[in-house]
Amino acid sequence: MIFNKDSGDLTSNSQEGDQMTGPEYEGKKILLVIAQEQFRDEECFVPKQVFESAGAKVTVAAESENTAKGALGGTIKPDIRISEARIDDYDAIVISGGGGSRKYLWDNHYLRGLVKEADSRKKVISAICISPVVLARAGVLKGKESTVFNSPDTVTELEKYGAVYQDRDVVVSGRVVTGRDPKSAEAFGKAVLKALKKA
């Protein structure tokens, strides 16, 4: 999938037959968490399209239900507040990246609680770009291989909480999926679906 920042449209760059659909994804419920401002557009819209195309139901959560604004100008109206989300209602939690993650997600105690609860209930847990820091701070990356957008503080944060950093597009460690950057958004989304299939 390619996100066009000017039109807000998605176009597929997948090979024929590379689509992930099937009854195993029908009815799966995914909580997609984004920053209220400066979420990275591709890391929200591309995985969302991957999930919905496969038949999964996506609920978008942010700090408030006001329209959230992406770094490239995309907008989306969240379905619920992060504080209202209940992990038992979902099969997976996916945390989108972007610069706004530092302000809105890294230290959001509701989100951290959701991640910990998802881990204890053996749900699929995933994050992309700089948002794997949320997973690290929640303690779910300890001893696990994972990736993150490589900036001065992100790799340090992961390693501080016991993660084993890998400089790869997407890293899957059991039920935990991490993605590196906007270019890996489609592969990240597909890896989340594969993890859901195994869960």
Q: What angle do CA 155, 126, 55 make, to 5 degrees?
A: 150
- 159 membership: H or E segment, kind and range: helix 154-160
Domain limits of the chain?
22-198
CA distance 137 to 95: 13
CA distance 187 to 174: 16
**CATH architecture of the domain with range 22-198:** 3-Layer(aba) Sandwich (3.40)
Which of 51, 48, 44 is CA-nearest to residue 24?
51
Residue 96 in this model has a pLDDT that exceeds 70: yes
Residue 23 in this model has a pLDDT that exceeds 80: no
- State the pLDDT at residue 198: 86
Residue 81 in this model has a pLDDT that exceeds 70: yes
In the numeric block, which tokens belong to residue 124? 């699929």
In the numeric block, which tokens belong to residue 44? 């929200």
In the numeric block, which tokens belong to residue 192? 């989340």
pLDDT-based confidence at residue 199 (cuts at 50, 70, 90):
confident
CA distance 164 to 155: 9
Q: 149 near 130, Cβ under 8 Å?
A: yes
Q: What is the pTM of this model?
A: 0.91
pLDDT digits (tens, 9 = 90+) for 110-160: 999 999 999 999 999 999 999 999 999 999 999 999 999 999 899 999 999
